[in-house]
Structure 1
Amino acid sequence: MIFFMFILILFTLLVGVIGISFSQEGTNLDILSKLLIPSIDLLHQNFPNSFDWFEFLTNATFSVSLSFFGIFIASFIYKPIYSVL
């Protein structure tokens, strides 16, 4: 079962590295174009489409809290009743 958890972690990290945003409005890019275009351009900080840290933190907070809620629910489902831990 731990093997499948590592596979899920791998795919989650891959999506995080790619930088797929929650709102896909106005972008008609396929997944290959998203892979080739970086989500953060570190060389041009004054670019009109610069990275919005507030949006990133709100999306990250929601995502992390949702994942912790899923871990909490899974711990009740998969933990045996007779377990000492």
Structure 2
Amino acid sequence: MVIALPSLRLLYLMDEINDPYLTVKAIGHQWYWSYEFTNYEELAFDSYMVPTQDLSPGQFRLLEVDNRMVVPMESPIRMLIS
């Protein structure tokens, strides 16, 4: 109990983002990811892995997807992952 309370406080402070520029909800399914951008109008899309036989030279096997999630640099972004 002595270690738990300071640790929980620290986790809460690290997770807190004041006034995020963007909120992204990423939902992991068995074979793909769904993304929802909730700060603006409802924007949602799915991201499926590109099959190995469809890869171009220089692309990464098991990492390439058909729709990449792109977010702005150096902006506070809240990520909700499930």
TM-score bucket (shorter structure): under 0.3
Higher strand share: 2
Higher relative contact order (Cα pairs below 8 Å, separated by 6+ residues): 2
Higher helix share: 1
- Normalising by structure 2, report the TM-score: 0.27
